[in-house]
Chains A and B, each alone.
Chain A
Amino acid sequence: MRKLEVLKPRVVGCPPRIEEAGERYAEILGGMPHTMCFITPIYHHVIDFGSGSVEIIEDGNVLIEGEVVVERRNLNRVVRMLRNIRTRSPYGELTERSCAVVEVHRHVEYGEEFFHVHFVCSPVSLAHRTENIERILKTIKRIADRYGVEELI
């Protein structure tokens, strides 16, 4: 296994399909493409907590995605709370709403109904990266404590 600590993002040549994809994207947007390819470390943390799980993916950008299981009556509140998470923008203000609910689906287990709320969060600022990740996780924890339920399996 390679040692990661000595590795840094390294610009590499882009495979042909990537150049084609860049051209296609630029065509859709009617814009000018600029494509770069890197080989880079990616740190992937997965945390399972009773009523859901979270993945934190860091590769220069931070992407937090996960799901929380809730009951129907709390669905709207949970969606609102996730949308209301505030993080610090690159300008230093707490004005960024970095989380979105991307999908909600329903499961029925032993006649009981459960809703899986899938979310994604991506704070932009590198300077406030740690603070922003912790803000997001703390709110997810608050939501899970208040509204999360364990699905019967």
Chain B
Amino acid sequence: MAYRRELTECPPFTWDEERRYAEILKGESYTKCFISPIYYYIIHFGARRPSITSAVEVIDTDAEVFIRGELVIEAGDEEKVAEEFRKIITRGSGDELERPCTVTMIHKHEVDSKEVSHVHFICSTESFIYMSENVEKILKGIKRIADKYGIKEW
């Protein structure tokens, strides 16, 4: 069964939010509310060694695609991994190159007196036309990083 995005009335709290956001940005605003399908994929995957903690979520709202997740790596590899995420390239709406991914947060854990880092990332690709191609490029990039730097958290 296929679902479509459908415009609906907005609940009152969204108008308050709109006013607040427009006030901060001192701009002209408008708000739209939809009832929409969201396709939500979660993939737990093994890294260089099998891992239960590395995971990716692909959130497809039928208008935007948003990919986020985390990788477990050895402490000390954070800079290299962040750089690798910035190197993932997708195709923009005008055929220009996009760098859709960024590392948002890194937190460290100590497990059996060994330090590991959890690298959280987000990616958001814009083009509709290249959506499938872009999602696959991002996932392949993530897989490459996981194969190179990912570890299992014991």
A contact residues vs B (CB 8 Å cutoff): 1-5, 7, 9, 12-15, 18, 21-22, 24-26, 28-50, 53-54, 56-57, 59-61, 63, 65, 83, 89, 91, 95-103, 105, 118, 120, 122-124, 133-134, 137-138, 140-141, 144
Contacts and interface: CB of A to CB of B under 8 A. Distances in A.
Contacts of A5: 9, 11-12
Given A21-B39, A45-B31, A13 B45 contact: no
B35 A40 contact: yes
B26 to A, nearest CB: 6
Contacts of A89: 105, 107
15 contacts: A1-B7, A13-B1, A25-B43, A29-B139, A29-B143, A31-B56, A37-B37, A37-B40, A43-B10, A44-B31, A45-B30, A46-B30, A47-B27, A100-B124, A105-B94
Interface size class of B (residues with CB under 8 A): 35 or more
Contacts of B3: 12, 15, 39
Contact of B104 (A7, A57, A103, A124): A124
B126 interface: yes
Contacts of A96: 104-105, 120
B17 interface: yes
A141 B56 contact: no
Interface in B41-85: 41-46, 55-56, 58-61, 64, 66, 68
A122 B27 contact: no
A21 B68 CA distance: 16
A53 B22 CA distance: 11
